[in-house]
Amino acid sequence: MDEAIPVSLDRIRKMIAQIESEHFSTADVLRRYNGGFCSNHGTPAQFSFNAQFGKLLKRNAEDLGIREVEPDASIEDDHGHPTSSSIWARRA
């Protein structure tokens, strides 16, 4: 039997509210939500917490008051490993 990990949309809203810049990445939200951001290199998207978290943001973008402005931006994780992340902006 597969398990599920609960994620709080209310907590995500609070994490987004703490971000001061106009644009921010899924990784920026994950850093606040989890205390850090590490890439899931070699992990299929269906099993990647990062990828699933990004999909959750996309599914709930309107409710979270955000919009995706760049879907596949090149970034580095907290260990300097290259990866990609969506870039978001608050809805006006």
Q: What gap in Å lies between CA 29 and CA 58, rounded to an integer?
A: 13
pTM of the model: 0.92
Kindly state whether residue 2 falls inside one of the protein's structural domains: no
Question: How many folded domains does the chain comprise?
Answer: 1
Kindly state whether residue 32 falls inside one of the protein's structural domains: yes
Q: What gap in Å lies between CA 71 and CA 30, rounded to an integer?
A: 16
| pLDDT (tens digit per residue) in 14-54 | 999 999 999 999 999 999 999 999 998 889 989 999 999 99
| pLDDT (tens digit per residue) in 47-85 | 999 999 999 999 999 999 999 999 999 999 999 999 999
Domain enclosing residue 41, as ranges? 23-90
CA–CA distance from 57 to each of 4, 60, 77 (Å)? 17, 5, 19
Kindly state whether residue 64 falls inside one of the protein's structural domains: yes
Kindly state whether residue 68 falls inside one of the protein's structural domains: yes
Kindly state whether residue 40 falls inside one of the protein's structural domains: yes
Kindly state whether residue 14 falls inside one of the protein's structural domains: no
Kindly state whether residue 3 falls inside one of the protein's structural domains: no
DSSP 56-82: HHHHTHHHHTEEEEEEEEEEE-TTS-E
Kindly state whether residue 34 falls inside one of the protein's structural domains: yes
